Chains A and B, each alone.
Chain A
Amino acid sequence: VEFEFLLNDVLRKISVEKKEKVYVFSDGEKKYVADVQQISPHQISALIDGVSYLIIMAKDKDRRYFMIDGQQFVVEEPAEEADSFHRGDEKTAEGILLVKAPMPGKVIKVCVSLKDKVRKNQTLAIVEAMKMENEIKASVDGTIKAIHVSDGDLVDPDMPLIELEP
C-alpha cells in the first residue's frame, strides 16, 4: 500500500507491505524491514536492525502527532489544495500576498494604512497572544492593497490580516 503524507508541511511518500510478522517500508530509495507492534493507543514499538524505537502517537481529527526521542512530528493527509498548509504568506492568483497571523491572538495595532508603501521587514501589525506582543512584518517591499482587521479583533492563523502587492 502506498501513502502520501505531509510531514511537518513537506509532502513525503512511503509504501508499506506486510510480510509474515514484519513490515517492509520503502521511501522509493531505501527499504526498511521493521517489526512494528502497537503497545497501547499512544505507543508504537518499532524494532529495526536490532534497535528498538518507541514512538508516541496522538491524533486530533486528521492530524497525527508523533514523538520520537523528544522530537515532535506532525503528519497530515495532503489536502486538495496543497498550498493551504503552507505557513506564512500565501499568494493569490494575481500575485498579491495574503499576510496572516502565525498564531491565534488579538490584533493590538494595525500599523499601516491602505495604499501605504512598505519596506521589507516593516511592521504591518502587532498581534498579541498569551500576553506577548508579536510583530507581523512585511516579507517583501510592496503596497498595502487591503486591510481586513482592526485594533482589538481576535484572529486565527487561517485569516488574512492584510493584502500586500509586491
Chain B
Amino acid sequence: VSDLLILEYEGWILLRLPTDPDPPDEKRGISGYTFAFGNEPDLDRVLHLQPPQTFKPRSHAPQIGVFVQNATRIKEGIKTPIPALQNASVNLLDNPTIENRNWVLTLPGEEPIVPFNMQIIGENIMLRRKAPLDYKNPDTPFWQVSQELINAQGAHGLEFEPGTIGRATGIWDTLAVAKERRAVLAVDLEALEKKHGDPIEITILKARIAQLDIALNANPPNSDRRTAARYFVERFGFPMQGETEIQGDQQATLGGLLATAPVPGWQVYFWIGAWDPDVMCAFMQGSLEIPYQA
C-alpha cells in the first residue's frame, strides 16, 4: 500500500448560474429563480472557489474561498502533518461549470463539473491535476462523451442532508437565514433611499427582497426552491487521471514524490451544498487523496 497525502478542504464558493427552466446560457435569468440584477455582471455559471478578480459578490455574501484545513501524510497507519499545505488555497481552473444543459446530459443532481482542473497552492509547493471525463481521450468535447463516463464523474444525486449542512456551516434553519437576510437588506435599502443613493443599487436591493419574499411567503413553509435548496448536497467522487503538474521541491515540502500515473490517479471527494440563491453562494467540503510514489 502506498503512502497517502490527504488534503481536507472546505469553504464557500460563488456560483452565479441561471436555474431551470432557463437555458444554461441565459445571461440575466428569466424563468428560473436566479438573476443578474441591475448592473451586476452576466451570470457566468462558473464555480469560483476563490474570490473573482473582476467583480464583488453581493452584499452579505459569506467570505469566498476554499482552503485546506488539514494536510496529512499517512505512512503505515501513522499520520504526519504537512505544514506546507496547511491553509493552502484550493481552486478549480479554466472556468469550470456544472454541465447539465437543461437535462440534456444528465438529470439534475447528476451533472459533472467540466472542465475539472484542480489546483492547490501551498507554501513553496503547487499541485495541479486535470480530470477529463475521458482521460484516454481528453480532447473529446463533453457533449460527445459516453453516458457511462459522464455518470462516473457526475454527482451522485441531490441528497437532503440538513445535518451535513448544519455541521459544516452552522446553518440549521434556512428560513431564519432568509428572514435575517431580508431584514438586513431592508435596512440597507432604507438607508440608501434616505440618502438618495444610487438608483441601480436600490433596484438591486428591491429585487433581492422581492425574491426573498417569494420564498418566505411560500405555503407550505420552506417549499420554495430559494430556501429549500439550502438543505441539499450534491456529492462527487472520482479519480483524477489527467495531466499533472507539480511545482516546488516535493522532497522538502511533502517528504517524498507524488505518484502521477493515470491509474489509480488522485482520488477527489467533495460535496457542494447549502446553496443560498440570494447571494448565489454554496459551501464545498471534501478531500483529496494522492498516493506517493512507492
B is bound to A:
no
